[in-house]
Amino acid sequence: MITDLRNRDLISDLDFSREEVETVLDVAWDLKKKRALGQPHAYLDNKTLGMLFFFSSTRTRSSFESGMAQLGGHAAFIESRTTQVSHGDTEKELGEILGRYFDGIAIRHVDWGIGNNYLNNVASASRVPVLNMQDEFYHPHQCLADIMTIQEKKGKDLRGKKIVVSWAYASSYLKPISVPQSLILQMPRFGLDVTLAHPPEFELMPEIMDQAREQAEKFDSKFEVVDDMEAGFEGADIVYAKSWGPLLTTRDQEEGKRIQDQYKDWITDARKMALADKDAIYMHPLPADRDVEVTSEVMDGPQSVVYDQAENRLHAQKAVMALTMR
């Protein structure tokens, strides 16, 4: 177990080694047990977390805020549009000042070409850890909850298990590519064979793809890409199907919507789930576009683990905060 993660930033999934991720998961399991037994675990007594949001989220705000309270601390919600952040405060100033007010800074900023750079600029000026609540490239805390959930359902020895990370159609908006990118970086490190399935226009960043292949080679797992949803589902032990925008093809909203609307048949339904292993689980970070992205039959069915997955956001994030903000 790696015992000293104090004051470490978590912005990219690869900021923590596999051994360090395993430490986070060990602590997360312990915190989940303590929560279930009602045992106090105020490891961050009198500590504070500043949460800066440029993009709203139900689960992210709720889980970080509740997690800090359960750890004995306090989380302050900062909305970018209603504060000086929207007209004056620079990343350097925020890193310097919020780093003196708080014991940790968490930021959610998914604007393309801006968010990740913003987080890194704040981190370079901050004396306290900066935690990524999602940017346009990565969603590391979601991915930690995902691997925790997979281990919960499939056991800790995942070698040879297949996860399909599939694009799915959604009608609501062009969603970030950070979730699938985090998944293909993290899952090979735990022995999972990764199949990435998406239409041609929905490619992920070339540098992330290269890193995913490197992780698969390093940890002796498989990584493949297919352009057919059904082919991706075949024999999968874990089905992780969600929408993301064609952001490497176009960032024009109308053109992106036109491209997206060509693939309405990319929906997770019972017929496609039947192509996977009979004990396959269905995962989604939520919110999902019901009966568009995934049918309610699958979402509410026995193979769905989406609510356990959402709960594990709380435990995984508490583990990161407890380890980095002590």
Residue 60 sits in a domain whose CATH number is 3.40.50.1370
* Structural domain includes residue 236: yes
Domain that holds residue 108: 13-139+313-324
Give pLDDT, residue 193. Answer: 98
* Structural domain includes residue 272: yes
pLDDT in tens, 177-205: 999 999 999 999 999 999 999 999 999 99
* Structural domain includes residue 192: yes
129 neighbors 324 (Cβ within 8 angstroms): yes
Model confidence at 297, in pLDDT bands (50, 70, 90)? very high
Give pLDDT, residue 88. Answer: 85
Q: Which residues contact 85 (CB under 8 A, 6 or more apart)?
A: 52, 78, 94
Model confidence at 172, in pLDDT bands (50, 70, 90)? confident
User: Quick one: 112 and 151 in the same domain?
Assistant: no
Give pLDDT, residue 168. Answer: 98
Give pLDDT, residue 185. Answer: 98
* Structural domain includes residue 4: no
User: Quick one: 157 and 304 in the same domain?
Assistant: yes
Please give the average per-residue pLDDT across 166-185, as a whole number: 95
User: Quick one: 199 and 152 in the same domain?
Assistant: yes
Residue 283's nearest CA partner among 191, 161, 199 is 161
Burial class (CB in 10 A: 0-12, 13-18, 19+), 292: middle
User: Quick one: 302 and 320 in the same domain?
Assistant: no
Give pLDDT, residue 54. Answer: 96
Give pLDDT, residue 1. Answer: 84
User: Quick one: 166 and 196 in the same domain?
Assistant: yes
Average pLDDT, rounded, for the chain: 97
User: Quick one: 275 and 178 in the same domain?
Assistant: yes
* Structural domain includes residue 8: no
User: Quick one: 299 and 318 in the same domain?
Assistant: no
pLDDT in tens, 62-88: 999 999 999 999 999 999 988 888 888
Number of domains, the chain: 2
User: Quick one: 161 and 299 in the same domain?
Assistant: yes
User: Quick one: 175 and 131 in the same domain?
Assistant: no
Instruction: Note the pTM of the prediction, 2 decimals.
Output: 0.97
pLDDT in tens, 101-126: 999 999 999 999 999 999 999 999 99
User: Quick one: 58 and 203 in the same domain?
Assistant: no
Residue 133 phi, psi dihedral angles, 5° rounding: -85, 5
Q: Which residues contact 82 (CB under 8 A, 6 or more apart)?
A: none
Give pLDDT, residue 290. Answer: 96
Give pLDDT, residue 102. Answer: 98
Q: Which tokens is 99 given?
A: 């780093």
User: Quick one: 110 and 227 in the same domain?
Assistant: no
* Structural domain includes residue 2: no
Our measurement of the distance from residue 116's CA atom to the centroid of its chain's CA atoms, rounded to an integer in Å, reads 14
Please give the average per-residue pLDDT across 50-71, as a whole number: 96
The Cα 181–Cα 204 span in angstroms is 7
* Structural domain includes residue 193: yes
Give pLDDT, residue 87. Answer: 84
User: Quick one: 178 and 292 in the same domain?
Assistant: yes
